[in-house]
Amino acid sequence: MALHNVASSAKYPHLSKQFFLSRFFKLTIRVANVNPESRRIRLLTASLLIISFVASFFVIPYTGLSANASSHLSRAPTKFLNPGNYSENFVLQGRPRFFILHVPPGKATKKRPLILVLPGATNTAQMTMNDTTFVYDANTSGDVVAFLQGYGLIFNEGAGANPSRRAGINDVAYVSDVLNKLRSLVNYNPKRVALAGYSNGAMTTGLVGCRLSSKFSLIVPVEGEIPAPVSATCHPTHPFSVLEVHATADPTIPYNGGTFAGTGAPVTVLSAPQAGQRWSHLEGCTAGPITIDTTGIVTTRYSSCHGNVTVTLRTIIGGAHVWPWDIGLLVVNALGH
């Protein structure tokens, strides 16, 4: 695994090697023209600059081995990462995996939430970071956001036979591995963790929620209902809230459920209302549904669930197969601020 800051190095010109060299040469030129006491001080300063310059060639990023599904960082860094964007590369199941981490500005606290984002098929982590409002809203709320990426840009959603599933990719282990690494990289509240996914990433969100229920307080499947085979075998051991977001006119994954083309192989999903009902049953909800109809949006909510969680279906009348323009705010608000 290797971690790299992807922020522009132009922001920190005062830390460059050219800076150390220029300061060193200026000091040494002046040493000969000063009294003995000042000469000793300047020689000491020049020596410290030489040490800093040489050390800059040997700075090692955070590293750790991740050759299996339960890997960890080999050791925790001495402090958490500063605000900025970081790219993370590591190995899982003998294959390279990747994600982008966004650390918001401001002081790190143990109370801030974490949001994991799963793109749709053929979408990269960087595209999703650029095309959604997660970063914008996280910078306001202080949430940490990690943008994950499917192997070959496709997640194994646990149904059908897409290329990742045929290759035996374990994306439940991938998400678990990312969470393991993040514990040592950023300060966040492990009881306030959301998993949001779109399309292929949404179906994978349902799968991961079923398998790793203790890791999340909220899952947000967007334009991709839970696959029927996943629903049939879903037995979460811990309660979490669910926010389903689906458009009635989605031409790719039907709002009314059924079998659709999928990525390389057909997939059968529940309808959006059935998905809401199924999650409410799995979460032990005994109140609802209560439906609120506003212009263009119908909200269906189940409550009195295990652990005081809620299940909500946000239906967009019309719409399309896209991330909602306000997805960042929806997730931030659902996490509770």
Under 8 Å between Cβ of 51 and 66? no
**Which pLDDT score is estimated for 308?**
96
| Structural tokens at position 92 | 């899982």
More confident call, 49 vs 227: 227
Is the pLDDT at 72 greater than 60? The verdict is no
**Which pLDDT score is estimated for 233?**
97
Range of weakest confidence among 48-52, 289-293, 332-336: 48-52
The β-bridge relationship of strands 193-198 and 218-222 is parallel
The residue-averaged pLDDT of 28-32 equals 38
pLDDT tens across 89-142, in order?
999 999 999 999 999 998 877 889 999 999 999 999 999 999 999 999 999 999
More confident call, 19 vs 39: 39
The residue-averaged pLDDT of 74-91 equals 78
> How is residue 81 annotated by DSSP?
P
Q: Look at phi and psi of residue 266 and say left if phi exceeds 0, alpha if psi is from -120 to 50, else beta.
A: beta
d(CA 263, CA 34): 74
Q: What is the mean pLDDT of the chain?
A: 82
Q: Count of residues for the chain? A: 337
The residue-averaged pLDDT of 36-46 equals 41
pLDDT tens across 221-243, in order?
999 999 999 999 999 999 999 99
Cβ-count burial 132-162 (b if 16+ within 10 Å, e if not): bbbbebbbebbbbbbbbbbbebbbbbbbbeb
Which residues touch 225 (CB under 8 Å, ≥6 apart)?
202, 203, 206, 244, 246, 253, 257, 269, 270, 271, 272, 274, 275
Range of weakest confidence among 17-21, 24-28, 64-68: 64-68
Quote the percentage of the chain above a pLDDT of 90: 72
Q: Residue 204: which of 240, 253, 157, 154 has the closest Cα?
A: 157
**Which pLDDT score is estimated for 111?**
86
DSSP-derived 3-state class of residue 107: coil
d(CA 13, CA 19): 8
d(CA 250, CA 227): 16
**Which pLDDT score is estimated for 160?**
86
Q: Hey, how many other C-beta atoms are within 10 angstroms of the C-beta on 24? A: 18
Domain locations in the chain as residue ranges:
12-58, 84-335
Phi, then psi, of 277 in degrees rounded to 5: -65, -40
Is the pLDDT at 193 greater than 90? The verdict is yes
Under 8 Å between Cβ of 59 and 95? no
The residue-averaged pLDDT of 183-190 equals 93
**Which pLDDT score is estimated for 141?**
94
**Which pLDDT score is estimated for 3?**
61
Quote the percentage of the chain above a pLDDT of 70: 77
More confident call, 122 vs 3: 122
**pLDDT band at residue 337, thresholds of 50, 70 and 90?**
low
Under 8 Å between Cβ of 155 and 234? no
pLDDT tens across 205-215, in order?
999 999 999 99
Q: Is 208 exposed, middle or buried (0-12, 13-18, 19+ CB in 10 A)?
A: buried
Q: Residue 239: which of 334, 309, 286 has the closest Cα?
A: 309
Is the pLDDT at 279 greater than 80? The verdict is yes
Range 84-335: architecture per CATH? 3-Layer(aba) Sandwich (3.40)
pLDDT tens across 289-306, in order?
999 999 899 999 999 999
**Which pLDDT score is estimated for 92?**
97
* AA letter at 126: Q
Q: Residue 201: which of 215, 220, 185 has the closest Cα?
A: 220
